[in-house]
Amino acid sequence: MPEVTDLELCQRCNLRPITNERPGTSDRLCGDCLAELESEMNALFRVGGALMQGFLSVFGAMPKGVSGELILRTMVANAMSGSEHPEAKALVARMRAASDELERELPGGRDNPGFASQLEERWRRLPLSGVSPPGGSA
Ligand SMILES: [Zn+2]
Q: What distance in Å separates the CA atoms of residue 84 and residue 44, rounded to the nearest whole number? A: 23
Confidence class for position 86, pLDDT limits 50, 70, 90? confident
Q: What distance in Å separates the CA atoms of residue 23 and residue 132, rounded to the nearest whole number? A: 8
Instruction: Give percent helix, percent strand, percent coil of the chain, each to the nearest 5.
Output: 55, 0, 45
- Identify residues whose C-beta is under 5 A from ligand 1, the ion: 10, 12-13, 16, 30, 33
What pLDDT digit, counting tens, does each position of 12-64 carry?
Answer: 899 988 876 655 566 778 888 888 888 999 999 999 999 999 999 999 999 98
pTM of the prediction?
0.80
Instruction: Quote the ligand 1 centre to 39 CA distance (angstroms).
Output: 14
Q: So what's the pLDDT on residue 25?
A: 64
Q: So what's the pLDDT on residue 22?
A: 58
Residue 123's SS3 state is: helix
What are residue 9's phi and psi, to 5 degrees?
-85, 150
Average pLDDT, the chain: 86
Q: What distance in Å separates the CA atoms of residue 64 and residue 71, rounded to the nearest whole number? A: 12
Instruction: Quote the ligand 1 centre to 31 CA distance (angstroms).
Output: 7
Dihedral sign (CA 30, 17, 25, 80): positive
